[in-house]
Amino acid sequence: MKIFGGSVFGTDHKMHDTDLCFENGIITETSSGGEFDATGCYVLPGLIDTHIHGTSGVCFYWSKDSVTPALDWLTRHGVTGILPTTCSETVEELEQDLAHLTSTGDERILGVHAEGPFINPEKAGGMRKNRIQLPDTELVEKMYRAARGKLKTMTMAPEMEGADEVIDTCNRLGIHVSMGHSAATYEQAKHAVDRGASRLTHTFNAMNGFNHRNPGLLGLGLDDERVMCELICDLYHVAAPAIRVVMRAKGSQGVTMVSDGSMFCGLPDGEYDVGDRVVYVKDGLCTLADGTISASSKCLSDGAKNLFQMGVSPADIAIMAAVNPARACGCADRGELEVGRRADVVVFDRNFDVKAVFLKGERMV
């Protein structure tokens, strides 16, 4: 297959008017197969979402059925790899969910992100407070084993008792520690980063706001170049001016776009009973009865379009939504349109709507 006529994201992380070729699911120098006309379009690596709880009616950490339909829905929307993300749950629930998610054999699941349970109840957000636990190294080990060694990221509050030991355990196991759902001070957060924490979970959300005398966790994330900032770009969780502030502070190399998507992605507006609570979805915004935002009903390509409309370049979008997350997942075969890598490709039209998606070279849209 040869994609011609488009502006292609290059290995120098700039856009180039060139062709992209692939055969047998791998990007190549040339191709003898069919052609796809991408005139006027942007050709990017398949997007990778490292913080997503579900989509199209499927909750990744509740569903015991096949997650393939949800993965197919995401693929049609330009997302070719994910870290399905759990919430704060009981030990038994976490072990079951992690085992289920890592047993699918689907190559689009690149590992798992555990959001909790070691978070601060004061910053629980949409998390169930009765499932929150103090940091526990034995539980980290159990979760890692349940996930078959594929636990890639753990969100935790670095100020909680026992956090240092959990960070040490995560470092030993190769798990990225992401600070979030936290009321940490700047000093507490810096201590965690010095110890090995490297990420900030959904920047601005479930943490104290910035104060010029007490910059806190948010200030540390923006100030410290060692920290990768997650950013939800649905324009509900974070307003456009705040997104611009983060990008100016960190640059695209220091930001990872995430959706924080939920089972309500792709579903119509309405009230949804999810057991012990009701979630209200209106115009793409998900809230609890008290108005608390509870995850998102937008997928990663929706956020990419928002950024494009804000004036962010396609190259920067590719860096934040493909390059950086692929590196975080340890996936050397994805995230770049480089010869020898997987042909996971998304073609956006001039309005940045998804026009075509190729998964390992096979056209899905």
Residue 179 carries which side chain, given as an amino acid letter? M
In the predicted structure, residue 63 carries a pLDDT above the cut 80? no
Whether cis (ω within 30° of 0) applies to the bond prior to 268 is no
Percent of the chain with pLDDT over 90: 92
**Cα–Cα dist 45/358, whole Å:** 9
Helix (H, G, I), strand (E, B) or coil at 332: coil
Among 193, 101, 116, 183, CA closest to 155: 116
What pLDDT does 261 receive?
96
Q: Average pLDDT, stretch 315-333?
A: 98
> CA 64: distance to chain centroid?
22
User: What pLDDT, in 10s, does the model give residues 169-211?
Assistant: 999 999 999 999 999 999 999 999 999 999 999 999 999 999 9
Nearest to 266 by CA among 108, 73, 106: 73
Alpha helices in the chain, H assignment, sequence order: 68-76, 91-101, 137-146, 163-173, 186-195, 216-223, 240-250, 300-309, 314-318, 324-329
Task: Compute the average pLDDT of residues 318-335.
Answer: 98
Q: What is the DSSP letter of 207?
A: B
pLDDT exceeds 90 at position 166: yes
Question: What sign does the dihedral 350-351-355-359 (CA atoms) show?
Answer: positive
Q: How far is CA 236 from the centre of its chain?
A: 16
| Average pLDDT value for the chain | 96
The mean pLDDT of 110-139, rounded to a whole number, is: 96
Q: Which residue has the tokens 């995850």?
A: 295
The two three-digit tokens of residue 291, written as one number: 């108005």
Q: Where are the alpha helices (DSSP H) in 105-162?
A: 137-146
Indicate the burial class of 130 (C-beta count within 10 angstroms; 0-12, 13-18, 19 or more): exposed
* Of 365, 237, 349, residue with least CA distance to 295: 237
Residue 61 has pLDDT above 90, yes or no: no
CATH of domain 47-333: 3.20.20.140
Confidence of residue 284 (pLDDT cuts 50, 70, 90): confident
Q: What is the pLDDT of residue 287?
A: 94
Label residues 148-183 b or e (16+ Cβ within 10 Å = b): eebbbbbbbbbbbeebeebbebbeeeebbbbbbbbb
pLDDT per residue as tens digits for the range 296-314: 999 999 999 999 999 999 9
What's the average model confidence in pLDDT over 215-240? 98
Q: What length is written for the chain?
A: 365
Query: Which pLDDT value is given to residue 62?
Result: 77
Query: What is the predicted pLDDT for the residue at 294?
Result: 84
349 and 40 Cβ atoms separated by less than 8 Å: yes
Task: Write out pLDDT tens, residues 90-124.
Answer: 899 999 999 999 999 999 999 999 999 999 999 99
**pTM exceeding 0.85:** yes
pLDDT at 88 over 90: no
Given CATH 2.30.40.10, say whether it is the number of domain 1-45+335-365: yes
User: How far is Cα 297 from Cα 266, in angstroms, rounded to an integer?
Assistant: 7
Residue 277 has pLDDT above 90, yes or no: no
Identify whether the C-beta of residue 114 lies closer than 8 Å to the C-beta of residue 178: no
Q: How far is CA 13 from CA 77, 256, 322, in A?
A: 22, 15, 11
pLDDT of residue 199: 99
Whether 181 and 201 have beta carbons less than 8 Å apart is answered as yes
Q: Which two three-digit tokens encode residue 126?
A: 């949409």
Domain boundaries, the chain: 1-45+335-365, 47-333
**Structure tokens of 224?**
């410290």
Mean pLDDT over 222-250 rounds to 98
Q: What is the mean pLDDT of residues 337-365?
A: 98
Distances (CA, A) of 263 to 56, 71, 165: 5, 12, 33
Average pLDDT over residues 268-283: 91
Distance CA 297, CA 230 (A): 17
pLDDT of residue 354: 99
Residue 270 has pLDDT above 80, yes or no: yes
Asked if 303 and 316 touch (Cβ cutoff 8 Å), the reply is no
Rounded mean pLDDT of 336-359? 99
Q: What percent of the chain has pLDDT over 70?
A: 100
Compute the distance between CA of residue 82 and CA of residue 106 in angstroms, rounded to an integer: 11
